[in-house]
Structure 1
Protein backbone atom coordinates (compact mmCIF):
# COMPACT_ATOMS: atom_id res chain seq x y z
CA UNK A 1 0.00 0.00 0.00
CA UNK A 2 1.14 3.51 -0.80
CA UNK A 3 0.79 5.22 2.57
CA UNK A 4 0.77 8.79 1.25
CA UNK A 5 -1.91 7.98 -1.32
CA UNK A 6 -4.08 6.37 1.34
CA UNK A 7 -3.83 9.41 3.63
CA UNK A 8 -4.60 11.68 0.68
CA UNK A 9 -7.64 9.57 -0.24
CA UNK A 10 -9.09 9.76 3.28
CA UNK A 11 -8.60 13.52 3.37
CA UNK A 12 -10.19 13.95 -0.07
CA UNK A 13 -13.19 11.84 0.90
CA UNK A 14 -13.78 14.00 3.97
CA UNK A 15 -13.35 17.14 1.89
CA UNK A 16 -16.03 15.92 -0.53
CA UNK A 17 -18.33 15.22 2.42
CA UNK A 18 -17.73 18.69 3.89
CA UNK A 19 -18.37 20.32 0.50
CA UNK A 20 -21.67 18.44 0.27
CA UNK A 21 -22.71 19.62 3.73
CA UNK A 22 -21.93 23.21 2.82
CA UNK A 23 -23.26 23.30 -0.74
CA UNK A 24 -25.46 20.30 -1.51
CA UNK A 25 -27.45 19.50 1.62
CA UNK A 26 -31.20 19.10 1.11
CA UNK A 27 -34.26 18.36 3.22
CA UNK A 28 -34.34 14.80 1.84
CA UNK A 29 -30.95 14.06 3.42
CA UNK A 30 -32.62 14.18 6.84
CA UNK A 31 -35.04 11.39 5.93
CA UNK A 32 -34.61 7.92 7.37
CA UNK A 33 -34.42 5.02 4.95
CA UNK A 34 -36.22 2.63 7.36
CA UNK A 35 -33.38 0.23 6.62
CA UNK A 36 -31.30 -0.93 9.56
CA UNK A 37 -27.64 -0.80 8.61
CA UNK A 38 -25.10 -3.43 9.61
CA UNK A 39 -24.55 -1.53 12.87
CA UNK A 40 -28.23 -1.96 13.77
CA UNK A 41 -29.38 1.67 13.46
CA UNK A 42 -31.98 3.08 11.08
CA UNK A 43 -29.86 4.74 8.39
CA UNK A 44 -30.33 8.32 7.27
CA UNK A 45 -30.13 8.95 3.56
CA UNK A 46 -27.04 11.00 4.38
CA UNK A 47 -25.41 8.00 6.07
CA UNK A 48 -25.67 6.08 2.79
CA UNK A 49 -24.47 9.02 0.71
CA UNK A 50 -21.38 9.55 2.89
CA UNK A 51 -20.65 5.83 2.95
CA UNK A 52 -20.67 5.74 -0.85
CA UNK A 53 -18.23 8.64 -0.95
CA UNK A 54 -15.82 6.73 1.28
CA UNK A 55 -16.22 3.55 -0.76
CA UNK A 56 -15.47 5.48 -3.95
CA UNK A 57 -12.25 6.93 -2.55
CA UNK A 58 -11.00 4.00 -0.45
CA UNK A 59 -12.10 0.66 -1.93
CA UNK A 60 -8.96 0.40 -4.07
CA UNK A 61 -6.89 0.24 -0.85
CA UNK A 62 -8.58 -2.74 0.82
CA UNK A 63 -11.72 -4.39 2.10
CA UNK A 64 -14.45 -2.11 3.42
CA UNK A 65 -16.20 -2.68 6.74
CA UNK A 66 -18.79 0.06 7.24
CA UNK A 67 -21.62 0.72 9.65
CA UNK A 68 -24.25 0.81 6.91
CA UNK A 69 -23.27 -1.81 4.33
CA UNK A 70 -21.24 -4.24 6.45
CA UNK A 71 -18.25 -6.04 4.93
CA UNK A 72 -17.16 -5.66 1.31
CA UNK A 73 -14.52 -8.23 0.45
CA UNK A 74 -11.92 -6.87 -1.97
CA UNK A 75 -9.57 -9.77 -1.27
CA UNK A 76 -7.03 -7.61 0.51
CA UNK A 77 -4.87 -7.98 3.63
CA UNK A 78 -6.07 -4.47 4.57
CA UNK A 79 -9.52 -3.59 5.89
CA UNK A 80 -10.90 -0.05 6.18
CA UNK A 81 -13.39 0.36 9.03
CA UNK A 82 -15.76 3.28 8.49
CA UNK A 83 -18.38 5.20 10.43
CA UNK A 84 -19.65 7.55 7.70
CA UNK A 85 -21.54 9.78 10.14
CA UNK A 86 -20.50 9.69 13.78
CA UNK A 87 -23.09 11.48 15.90
CA UNK A 88 -25.93 11.21 13.38
CA UNK A 89 -28.55 12.17 16.00
CA UNK A 90 -26.57 15.34 16.69
CA UNK A 91 -26.48 16.10 12.97
CA UNK A 92 -30.21 15.42 12.66
CA UNK A 93 -30.89 17.86 15.53
CA UNK A 94 -28.51 20.59 14.27
CA UNK A 95 -26.20 20.06 17.22
CA UNK A 96 -22.70 20.87 15.89
CA UNK A 97 -20.81 17.82 17.18
CA UNK A 98 -20.63 15.14 14.53
CA UNK A 99 -18.09 13.79 12.08
CA UNK A 100 -16.64 10.74 10.37
CA UNK A 101 -14.32 7.93 11.44
CA UNK A 102 -11.91 5.82 9.38
CA UNK A 103 -9.58 3.15 10.73
CA UNK A 104 -7.15 1.07 8.66
CA UNK A 105 -6.34 -2.48 9.75
CA UNK A 106 -3.64 -4.81 8.49
CA UNK A 107 -4.80 -8.21 9.62
CA UNK A 108 -5.92 -7.69 13.21
CA UNK A 109 -3.75 -4.61 13.84
CA UNK A 110 -4.95 -1.02 13.47
CA UNK A 111 -2.28 1.00 11.69
CA UNK A 112 -4.07 4.30 11.02
CA UNK A 113 -7.00 6.28 12.39
CA UNK A 114 -8.75 9.41 11.15
CA UNK A 115 -11.62 11.25 12.86
CA UNK A 116 -13.16 14.35 11.31
CA UNK A 117 -15.02 17.04 13.22
CA UNK A 118 -17.16 18.33 10.35
CA UNK A 119 -18.58 21.49 11.99
CA UNK A 120 -15.01 22.47 12.89
CA UNK A 121 -13.77 21.44 9.39
CA UNK A 122 -10.83 19.59 10.89
CA UNK A 123 -9.43 16.06 11.07
CA UNK A 124 -7.26 14.58 13.80
CA UNK A 125 -5.30 11.55 12.68
CA UNK A 126 -2.40 9.23 13.32
CA UNK A 127 -1.14 7.04 10.49
CA UNK A 128 1.56 4.42 10.06
CA UNK A 129 3.42 5.19 13.27
CA UNK A 130 3.35 8.98 13.00
CA UNK A 131 2.58 11.43 15.76
CA UNK A 132 -0.93 12.82 16.05
CA UNK A 133 -1.61 15.40 13.34
CA UNK A 134 -4.36 17.89 12.61
CA UNK A 135 -5.61 18.86 9.18
CA UNK A 136 -7.88 21.67 8.01
CA UNK A 137 -10.44 20.54 5.43
CA UNK A 138 -11.19 24.13 4.45
CA UNK A 139 -7.78 24.87 2.95
CA UNK A 140 -6.53 21.24 2.77
CA UNK A 141 -3.42 22.03 4.81
CA UNK A 142 -1.92 20.66 8.00
CA UNK A 143 -3.02 22.70 11.00
CA UNK A 144 -1.25 23.56 14.24
CA UNK A 145 -3.49 23.27 17.28
CA UNK A 146 -2.76 25.04 20.57
CA UNK A 147 -3.30 22.57 23.39
CA UNK A 148 -3.99 23.50 27.00
CA UNK A 149 -2.50 20.78 29.18
CA UNK A 150 -5.12 21.32 31.88
CA UNK A 151 -8.74 20.21 31.64
CA UNK A 152 -11.84 21.13 33.63
CA UNK A 153 -14.23 18.50 32.31
CA UNK A 154 -14.47 14.86 31.36
CA UNK A 155 -16.61 13.08 28.76
CA UNK A 156 -19.01 10.22 29.56
CA UNK A 157 -20.64 8.92 26.41
CA UNK A 158 -24.01 7.16 26.93
CA UNK A 159 -24.12 8.55 30.46
CA UNK A 160 -27.94 8.58 30.35
CA UNK A 161 -27.93 4.77 30.62
CA UNK A 162 -25.83 4.74 33.82
CA UNK A 163 -27.41 7.08 36.41
CA UNK A 164 -25.59 5.42 39.31
CA UNK A 165 -22.19 6.20 37.81
CA UNK A 166 -23.37 9.74 37.06
CA UNK A 167 -24.40 10.21 40.68
CA UNK A 168 -21.06 8.94 42.00
CA UNK A 169 -19.15 11.26 39.65
CA UNK A 170 -21.35 14.14 40.76
CA UNK A 171 -20.87 13.27 44.42
CA UNK A 172 -17.12 13.58 43.88
CA UNK A 173 -17.59 16.94 42.11
CA UNK A 174 -16.34 15.57 38.80
CA UNK A 175 -17.72 17.66 35.95
CA UNK A 176 -18.58 15.72 32.81
CA UNK A 177 -20.50 15.96 29.56
CA UNK A 178 -22.19 13.41 27.29
CA UNK A 179 -21.66 14.74 23.76
CA UNK A 180 -23.17 12.00 21.59
CA UNK A 181 -20.38 11.26 19.11
CA UNK A 182 -18.18 8.47 20.42
CA UNK A 183 -15.44 8.52 17.79
CA UNK A 184 -14.98 12.28 18.18
CA UNK A 185 -14.81 12.06 21.95
CA UNK A 186 -12.30 9.19 21.97
CA UNK A 187 -10.08 10.78 19.34
CA UNK A 188 -9.81 13.98 21.37
CA UNK A 189 -9.33 12.33 24.76
CA UNK A 190 -6.10 14.29 25.24
CA UNK A 191 -8.25 17.41 25.78
CA UNK A 192 -10.18 16.01 28.78
CA UNK A 193 -9.50 14.59 32.24
CA UNK A 194 -10.95 11.31 31.03
CA UNK A 195 -13.23 9.90 28.35
CA UNK A 196 -15.55 7.09 29.39
CA UNK A 197 -17.72 5.01 27.09
CA UNK A 198 -20.11 2.37 28.44
CA UNK A 199 -22.24 0.00 26.38
CA UNK A 200 -21.91 -2.11 23.26
CA UNK A 201 -18.47 -1.58 21.74
CA UNK A 202 -18.50 -1.52 17.94
CA UNK A 203 -15.40 -1.24 15.78
CA UNK A 204 -16.98 1.54 13.69
CA UNK A 205 -17.25 3.73 16.79
CA UNK A 206 -13.95 3.12 18.53
CA UNK A 207 -11.05 1.77 16.44
CA UNK A 208 -9.89 5.07 14.93
CA UNK A 209 -10.21 7.04 18.15
CA UNK A 210 -8.40 4.43 20.22
CA UNK A 211 -5.51 4.35 17.76
CA UNK A 212 -5.22 8.14 17.74
CA UNK A 213 -4.97 8.32 21.53
CA UNK A 214 -3.01 5.10 22.05
CA UNK A 215 -0.26 6.95 23.96
CA UNK A 216 -2.70 7.76 26.77
CA UNK A 217 -3.69 5.42 29.59
CA UNK A 218 -6.47 3.09 28.40
CA UNK A 219 -8.62 0.59 30.26
CA UNK A 220 -10.95 -1.60 28.16
CA UNK A 221 -13.28 -4.51 28.81
CA UNK A 222 -16.31 -5.95 27.01
CA UNK A 223 -18.51 -2.90 27.64
CA UNK A 224 -16.17 -0.20 28.92
CA UNK A 225 -13.54 2.11 27.48
CA UNK A 226 -11.81 4.50 29.84
CA UNK A 227 -9.06 6.84 28.61
CA UNK A 228 -7.18 8.92 31.14
CA UNK A 229 -4.42 11.47 30.57
CA UNK A 230 -2.92 11.18 34.04
CA UNK A 231 -1.85 7.62 34.87
CA UNK A 232 -2.21 8.32 38.60
CA UNK A 233 -5.97 8.84 38.08
CA UNK A 234 -6.61 5.63 36.13
CA UNK A 235 -7.30 3.38 39.14
CA UNK A 236 -9.35 6.11 40.83
CA UNK A 237 -11.76 6.37 37.90
CA UNK A 238 -11.78 2.58 37.37
CA UNK A 239 -13.00 2.10 40.94
CA UNK A 240 -15.87 4.51 40.34
CA UNK A 241 -17.13 2.82 37.18
CA UNK A 242 -16.54 -0.76 38.34
CA UNK A 243 -18.80 -0.31 41.36
CA UNK A 244 -21.80 -0.64 39.02
Structure 2
Protein backbone atom coordinates (compact mmCIF):
# COMPACT_ATOMS: atom_id res chain seq x y z
CA UNK A 1 0.00 0.00 0.00
CA UNK A 2 0.98 3.59 -0.55
CA UNK A 3 1.18 6.10 2.28
CA UNK A 4 -2.37 7.40 1.64
CA UNK A 5 -4.08 4.01 1.46
CA UNK A 6 -6.55 2.90 4.15
CA UNK A 7 -8.44 -0.37 4.02
CA UNK A 8 -11.16 -1.39 6.53
CA UNK A 9 -12.19 -5.04 6.95
CA UNK A 10 -15.16 -6.23 9.05
CA UNK A 11 -15.11 -10.05 9.31
CA UNK A 12 -18.31 -12.08 9.71
CA UNK A 13 -16.54 -14.71 11.84
CA UNK A 14 -13.63 -14.82 14.26
CA UNK A 15 -10.34 -14.43 12.39
CA UNK A 16 -6.66 -14.64 13.17
CA UNK A 17 -4.63 -11.63 12.07
CA UNK A 18 -1.01 -12.44 11.33
CA UNK A 19 1.64 -9.75 10.94
CA UNK A 20 5.09 -10.34 9.45
CA UNK A 21 4.49 -13.96 8.54
CA UNK A 22 2.93 -14.79 11.89
CA UNK A 23 5.55 -13.16 14.07
CA UNK A 24 2.68 -11.26 15.71
CA UNK A 25 -0.72 -12.97 15.93
CA UNK A 26 -4.07 -11.89 17.36
CA UNK A 27 -7.55 -13.46 17.41
CA UNK A 28 -10.25 -10.91 16.56
CA UNK A 29 -13.97 -11.33 17.29
CA UNK A 30 -16.83 -11.06 14.81
CA UNK A 31 -17.59 -7.54 13.53
CA UNK A 32 -14.28 -6.21 14.84
CA UNK A 33 -13.05 -3.50 12.48
CA UNK A 34 -9.59 -4.16 11.10
CA UNK A 35 -7.92 -1.06 9.71
CA UNK A 36 -4.94 -1.46 7.41
CA UNK A 37 -3.05 1.67 6.41
CA UNK A 38 -0.19 2.25 4.05
CA UNK A 39 3.23 3.24 5.34
CA UNK A 40 5.43 6.19 4.48
CA UNK A 41 8.44 3.97 5.11
CA UNK A 42 9.18 1.37 2.42
CA UNK A 43 9.76 -2.24 3.45
CA UNK A 44 13.11 -3.90 2.91
CA UNK A 45 13.94 -7.57 2.55
CA UNK A 46 17.03 -8.57 4.50
CA UNK A 47 18.77 -11.92 4.21
CA UNK A 48 20.10 -13.02 7.59
CA UNK A 49 21.23 -16.14 9.41
CA UNK A 50 19.64 -15.02 12.69
CA UNK A 51 16.98 -17.25 14.20
CA UNK A 52 13.29 -16.49 14.53
CA UNK A 53 13.78 -16.43 18.31
CA UNK A 54 16.21 -13.54 17.92
CA UNK A 55 13.71 -11.48 15.91
CA UNK A 56 10.87 -12.39 18.26
CA UNK A 57 12.85 -10.93 21.17
CA UNK A 58 13.91 -7.94 19.10
CA UNK A 59 10.35 -7.29 17.91
CA UNK A 60 8.88 -7.59 21.40
CA UNK A 61 11.16 -4.91 22.77
CA UNK A 62 10.86 -2.60 19.77
CA UNK A 63 7.07 -2.78 19.90
CA UNK A 64 6.65 -4.44 16.52
CA UNK A 65 3.33 -6.20 16.12
CA UNK A 66 -0.35 -5.41 16.07
CA UNK A 67 -1.15 -1.94 17.33
CA UNK A 68 -3.95 -0.94 19.63
CA UNK A 69 -3.65 -3.82 22.10
CA UNK A 70 -4.24 -2.97 25.73
CA UNK A 71 -5.19 0.68 25.44
CA UNK A 72 -4.97 3.41 28.03
CA UNK A 73 -7.61 1.81 30.24
CA UNK A 74 -5.31 -1.17 30.83
CA UNK A 75 -2.27 0.90 31.69
CA UNK A 76 -0.98 1.00 35.25
CA UNK A 77 1.93 3.27 36.10
CA UNK A 78 2.75 3.35 32.38
CA UNK A 79 3.58 -0.38 32.22
CA UNK A 80 0.20 -2.11 31.96
CA UNK A 81 -0.37 -4.65 34.72
CA UNK A 82 3.36 -5.15 35.28
CA UNK A 83 5.79 -3.25 37.50
CA UNK A 84 8.74 -1.19 36.35
CA UNK A 85 11.10 -3.88 37.67
CA UNK A 86 9.30 -6.59 35.69
CA UNK A 87 9.47 -4.56 32.50
CA UNK A 88 13.17 -3.85 33.04
CA UNK A 89 13.88 -7.51 33.78
CA UNK A 90 12.08 -8.68 30.66
CA UNK A 91 13.99 -6.14 28.59
CA UNK A 92 17.31 -7.24 30.08
CA UNK A 93 16.52 -10.90 29.46
CA UNK A 94 15.49 -10.36 25.84
CA UNK A 95 18.42 -8.06 25.15
CA UNK A 96 20.95 -10.50 26.61
CA UNK A 97 19.46 -13.49 24.79
CA UNK A 98 19.09 -11.59 21.53
CA UNK A 99 22.73 -10.54 21.67
CA UNK A 100 23.64 -14.07 22.71
CA UNK A 101 21.99 -15.48 19.59
CA UNK A 102 24.28 -13.32 17.48
CA UNK A 103 27.37 -14.17 19.52
CA UNK A 104 26.66 -17.87 19.17
CA UNK A 105 26.52 -17.56 15.38
CA UNK A 106 29.71 -15.51 15.22
CA UNK A 107 31.49 -17.94 17.54
CA UNK A 108 31.05 -20.61 14.88
CA UNK A 109 32.63 -18.52 12.12
CA UNK A 110 36.10 -19.57 11.06
CA UNK A 111 37.32 -15.98 11.21
CA UNK A 112 36.07 -12.84 12.93
CA UNK A 113 37.38 -9.30 12.84
CA UNK A 114 39.62 -8.42 15.77
CA UNK A 115 40.65 -4.88 16.74
CA UNK A 116 42.86 -3.20 19.31
CA UNK A 117 40.97 -1.14 21.88
CA UNK A 118 42.40 2.10 23.33
CA UNK A 119 43.79 0.20 26.35
CA UNK A 120 45.73 -2.18 24.16
CA UNK A 121 43.37 -5.12 24.65
CA UNK A 122 41.49 -7.12 22.06
CA UNK A 123 37.93 -6.42 20.95
CA UNK A 124 35.97 -8.12 18.17
CA UNK A 125 33.15 -7.36 15.77
CA UNK A 126 31.05 -9.54 18.06
CA UNK A 127 31.61 -7.15 21.01
CA UNK A 128 30.44 -4.18 18.95
CA UNK A 129 27.43 -5.95 17.42
CA UNK A 130 26.25 -7.29 20.78
CA UNK A 131 26.64 -3.83 22.33
CA UNK A 132 24.65 -2.23 19.51
CA UNK A 133 21.77 -4.69 19.89
CA UNK A 134 21.51 -4.25 23.66
CA UNK A 135 21.88 -0.47 23.76
CA UNK A 136 19.40 0.01 20.90
CA UNK A 137 16.76 -1.98 22.77
CA UNK A 138 17.36 -0.04 25.98
CA UNK A 139 17.19 3.34 24.23
CA UNK A 140 13.93 2.33 22.58
CA UNK A 141 12.29 1.36 25.89
CA UNK A 142 13.95 3.79 28.29
CA UNK A 143 15.33 6.74 26.28
CA UNK A 144 16.02 8.83 29.39
CA UNK A 145 18.13 6.26 31.22
CA UNK A 146 21.92 6.40 31.47
CA UNK A 147 23.82 3.66 29.63
CA UNK A 148 27.41 2.54 30.21
CA UNK A 149 28.90 -0.29 28.19
CA UNK A 150 32.39 -1.70 28.15
CA UNK A 151 33.20 -0.88 24.54
CA UNK A 152 31.98 2.49 23.24
CA UNK A 153 28.81 3.70 24.95
CA UNK A 154 28.85 6.13 27.88
CA UNK A 155 25.58 8.07 27.94
CA UNK A 156 24.82 10.33 30.90
CA UNK A 157 21.24 11.64 30.91
CA UNK A 158 21.37 12.58 34.60
CA UNK A 159 18.97 9.76 35.41
CA UNK A 160 18.83 7.83 38.68
CA UNK A 161 18.68 4.71 36.51
CA UNK A 162 21.84 3.48 34.80
CA UNK A 163 22.23 0.42 32.58
CA UNK A 164 25.64 -1.23 32.86
CA UNK A 165 26.52 -3.69 30.11
CA UNK A 166 29.27 -6.08 29.20
CA UNK A 167 28.21 -7.17 25.71
CA UNK A 168 30.82 -9.94 25.59
CA UNK A 169 32.51 -10.93 28.84
CA UNK A 170 35.31 -13.32 27.97
CA UNK A 171 36.48 -11.86 24.67
CA UNK A 172 39.77 -13.76 24.89
CA UNK A 173 37.88 -17.03 25.24
CA UNK A 174 35.61 -16.05 22.35
CA UNK A 175 38.57 -15.34 20.06
CA UNK A 176 40.12 -18.74 20.89
CA UNK A 177 36.82 -20.59 20.32
CA UNK A 178 36.47 -21.31 24.02
CA UNK A 179 32.77 -21.57 24.98
CA UNK A 180 33.17 -19.71 28.30
CA UNK A 181 31.86 -16.28 27.35
CA UNK A 182 28.74 -14.42 28.45
CA UNK A 183 26.54 -11.34 28.19
CA UNK A 184 25.97 -9.23 31.32
CA UNK A 185 23.19 -6.63 31.64
CA UNK A 186 22.42 -4.76 34.87
CA UNK A 187 20.15 -1.85 35.78
CA UNK A 188 21.32 0.30 38.67
CA UNK A 189 19.16 2.59 40.78
CA UNK A 190 21.35 5.27 42.37
CA UNK A 191 24.39 3.00 41.77
CA UNK A 192 22.72 0.05 43.53
CA UNK A 193 21.90 -2.98 41.31
CA UNK A 194 18.14 -3.33 40.81
CA UNK A 195 18.02 -5.86 37.97
CA UNK A 196 20.73 -8.26 36.85
CA UNK A 197 20.92 -10.72 33.96
CA UNK A 198 23.76 -12.96 32.79
CA UNK A 199 23.37 -15.12 29.68
CA UNK A 200 25.80 -17.89 28.73
CA UNK A 201 24.97 -18.58 25.05
CA UNK A 202 26.83 -21.85 24.51
CA UNK A 203 24.90 -23.66 27.27
CA UNK A 204 21.74 -21.52 26.99
CA UNK A 205 21.71 -20.57 30.67
CA UNK A 206 19.97 -17.34 31.66
CA UNK A 207 20.69 -16.13 35.20
CA UNK A 208 18.56 -13.30 36.57
CA UNK A 209 17.55 -11.47 39.73
CA UNK A 210 15.60 -8.43 40.91
CA UNK A 211 16.63 -6.76 44.15
CA UNK A 212 14.74 -8.29 47.06
CA UNK A 213 13.71 -11.37 45.07
CA UNK A 214 15.09 -14.79 44.24
CA UNK A 215 18.02 -15.55 41.97
CA UNK A 216 16.96 -17.66 39.00
CA UNK A 217 18.46 -19.72 36.20
CA UNK A 218 16.15 -20.52 33.30
CA UNK A 219 13.17 -19.84 35.55
CA UNK A 220 14.30 -22.03 38.45
CA UNK A 221 15.27 -20.63 41.86
CA UNK A 222 18.95 -21.06 42.75
CA UNK A 223 20.85 -20.78 46.02
CA UNK A 224 24.49 -20.69 47.00
CA UNK A 225 25.91 -23.72 48.81
CA UNK A 226 25.73 -24.07 52.59
CA UNK A 227 29.28 -25.40 52.77
CA UNK A 228 31.13 -24.10 55.83
CA UNK A 229 34.49 -25.90 55.67
CA UNK A 230 37.23 -24.16 53.66
CA UNK A 231 39.03 -27.44 52.99
CA UNK A 232 35.90 -28.73 51.19
CA UNK A 233 35.31 -25.57 49.16
CA UNK A 234 35.65 -24.94 45.43
CA UNK A 235 37.14 -21.58 44.46
CA UNK A 236 36.92 -19.74 41.14
CA UNK A 237 39.52 -17.11 40.40
CA UNK A 238 39.99 -14.38 37.89
CA UNK A 239 43.32 -12.84 36.91
CA UNK A 240 45.67 -12.87 39.92
CA UNK A 241 48.90 -11.14 38.82
CA UNK A 242 50.34 -10.80 42.32
CA UNK A 243 49.73 -14.41 43.21
CA UNK A 244 47.75 -13.50 46.33
CA UNK A 245 45.23 -16.25 45.72
CA UNK A 246 47.79 -18.99 45.06
CA UNK A 247 49.85 -18.09 48.11
CA UNK A 248 46.97 -17.86 50.59
CA UNK A 249 43.99 -19.90 49.45
CA UNK A 250 45.23 -22.55 47.05
CA UNK A 251 46.76 -24.72 49.82
CA UNK A 252 43.59 -24.73 51.95
CA UNK A 253 40.72 -25.22 49.47
CA UNK A 254 39.51 -28.38 47.74
CA UNK A 255 40.03 -27.07 44.22
CA UNK A 256 40.55 -23.97 42.06
CA UNK A 257 39.02 -23.21 38.67
CA UNK A 258 39.36 -20.34 36.22
CA UNK A 259 36.83 -19.64 33.45
CA UNK A 260 37.98 -16.30 32.04
CA UNK A 261 34.68 -14.46 32.57
CA UNK A 262 33.86 -12.66 35.81
CA UNK A 263 30.15 -12.82 35.03
CA UNK A 264 30.28 -16.60 34.62
CA UNK A 265 32.31 -16.89 37.82
CA UNK A 266 29.61 -15.11 39.82
CA UNK A 267 26.78 -16.99 38.10
CA UNK A 268 28.38 -20.32 39.02
CA UNK A 269 28.81 -19.18 42.62
CA UNK A 270 25.12 -18.22 42.77
CA UNK A 271 23.92 -21.61 41.53
CA UNK A 272 26.17 -23.63 43.83
CA UNK A 273 28.82 -24.76 41.34
CA UNK A 274 31.46 -23.04 43.49
CA UNK A 275 31.77 -21.63 47.00
CA UNK A 276 34.14 -18.67 46.59
CA UNK A 277 35.08 -16.21 43.81
CA UNK A 278 38.18 -14.02 43.89
CA UNK A 279 38.81 -11.22 41.37
CA UNK A 280 41.96 -9.13 41.73
CA UNK A 281 40.49 -6.28 39.66
CA UNK A 282 37.01 -5.63 38.32
CA UNK A 283 35.12 -3.11 36.22
CA UNK A 284 31.45 -2.32 36.91
CA UNK A 285 30.24 -3.95 33.69
CA UNK A 286 32.05 -7.19 34.62
CA UNK A 287 30.23 -7.72 37.90
CA UNK A 288 27.18 -5.44 38.33
CA UNK A 289 24.67 -8.12 37.31
CA UNK A 290 26.57 -10.94 39.00
CA UNK A 291 26.79 -9.18 42.37
CA UNK A 292 23.00 -8.84 42.54
CA UNK A 293 22.45 -12.45 41.47
CA UNK A 294 24.90 -13.72 44.11
CA UNK A 295 23.30 -11.65 46.87
CA UNK A 296 19.79 -12.77 45.91
CA UNK A 297 21.04 -16.37 45.97
CA UNK A 298 22.21 -15.94 49.56
CA UNK A 299 25.86 -15.04 48.99
CA UNK A 300 28.06 -12.22 50.22
CA UNK A 301 30.29 -9.79 48.28
CA UNK A 302 33.03 -7.58 49.76
CA UNK A 303 36.47 -6.24 49.06
CA UNK A 304 39.57 -8.12 50.18
CA UNK A 305 39.62 -6.27 53.51
CA UNK A 306 35.98 -7.11 54.24
CA UNK A 307 34.60 -3.66 53.39
CA UNK A 308 31.47 -3.42 51.28
CA UNK A 309 32.14 -3.78 47.56
CA UNK A 310 31.01 -0.65 45.71
CA UNK A 311 30.76 -0.32 41.94
CA UNK A 312 33.51 2.12 41.00
CA UNK A 313 33.27 3.85 37.63
CA UNK A 314 36.73 5.36 38.00
CA UNK A 315 38.06 2.50 35.98
CA UNK A 316 41.74 3.31 36.54
CA UNK A 317 41.37 2.19 40.16
CA UNK A 318 42.03 -1.43 41.12
CA UNK A 319 38.76 -2.75 42.55
CA UNK A 320 39.21 -6.24 44.01
CA UNK A 321 36.24 -8.47 44.77
CA UNK A 322 35.73 -11.40 47.10
CA UNK A 323 32.41 -13.24 46.88
CA UNK A 324 31.28 -16.36 48.69
CA UNK A 325 28.32 -18.46 49.70
CA UNK A 326 28.17 -16.35 52.87
CA UNK A 327 29.03 -19.03 55.41
CA UNK A 328 32.66 -19.22 54.32
CA UNK A 329 33.22 -15.49 54.04
CA UNK A 330 34.70 -14.66 57.44
CA UNK A 331 37.14 -17.58 57.32
CA UNK A 332 38.17 -16.77 53.75
CA UNK A 333 38.87 -13.17 54.77
CA UNK A 334 41.14 -14.43 57.55
CA UNK A 335 43.07 -16.71 55.18
CA UNK A 336 43.49 -14.16 52.41
CA UNK A 337 44.67 -11.43 54.79
CA UNK A 338 47.25 -13.46 56.69
CA UNK A 339 50.70 -11.91 56.73
Q: TM-score interval w.r.t. the shorter chain?
A: 0.7 to 0.9
2:72 maps to none
Structure 1 residue 208: deviation in Å?
1.0
Say if 2:123 is the partner of 1:43: yes
Counterpart contact for 1:10–1:57, Cα < 8 Å: no
Higher relative contact order (CA 8 A, sep 6+): 1
1:211 maps to 292
Q: TM-score, normalised by structure 1?
A: 0.82
2:260 maps to 180
Cα separation, partners in 2 of 1:227 and 1:56, compared to 1, 3 Å: same
1:155 maps to 236
Structure 1 residue 194: deviation in Å?
0.9
Structure 1 residue 87: deviation in Å?
0.9
| Distance across 2 between alignment mates of 1:85 and 1:24 | 12
Cα separation, partners in 2 of 1:128 and 1:172, compared to 1, 3 Å: closer
2:179 to 96, 101, 112: 96
Q: Deviations over 1:112-157 (max 9, x none)?
A: 111111111111111243211222xxxxxx3567987667521111
| Distance across 1 between alignment mates of 2:276 and 2:103 | 31
Say if 2:85 is the partner of 1:3: yes
What is the SS of the residue equivalent to 1:46? helix
Pick the structure with greater CA Rg. 2
Structure 1 residue 182: deviation in Å?
0.5
Counterpart contact for 2:266–2:277, Cα < 8 Å: yes
Counterpart contact for 2:96–2:184, Cα < 8 Å: no
1:139 maps to none
Segments ≥4 residues shifted beyond 4 Å: 22-25, 143-152
| Distance across 2 between alignment mates of 1:217 and 1:5 | 27
| Distance across 1 between alignment mates of 2:284 and 2:184 | 10
| Distance across 1 between alignment mates of 2:245 and 2:193 | 31
Cα separation, partners in 2 of 1:243 and 1:134, compared to 1, 3 Å: same
What is the SS of the residue equivalent to 2:117? strand
Counterpart contact for 2:234–2:253, Cα < 8 Å: no
1:138 maps to none
Q: Which runs of no fewer than 5 residues in structure 1 stay unpaired?
A: 136-141
2:96 maps to 14
Structure 1 residue 171: deviation in Å?
2.7
What is the SS of the residue equivalent to 1:155? strand
2:321 maps to 225
How many matched pairs? Answer: 232
2:335 maps to 240
Q: TM-score, normalised by structure 2?
A: 0.61
RMSD (CA atoms): 2.7
| Distance across 2 between alignment mates of 1:6 and 1:179 | 28
Cα separation, partners in 2 of 1:63 and 1:109, compared to 1, 3 Å: same
Structure 1 residue 41: deviation in Å?
3.5
Say if 2:182 is the partner of 1:86: no
Structure 1 residue 236: deviation in Å?
2.3
Say if 2:148 is the partner of 1:65: yes
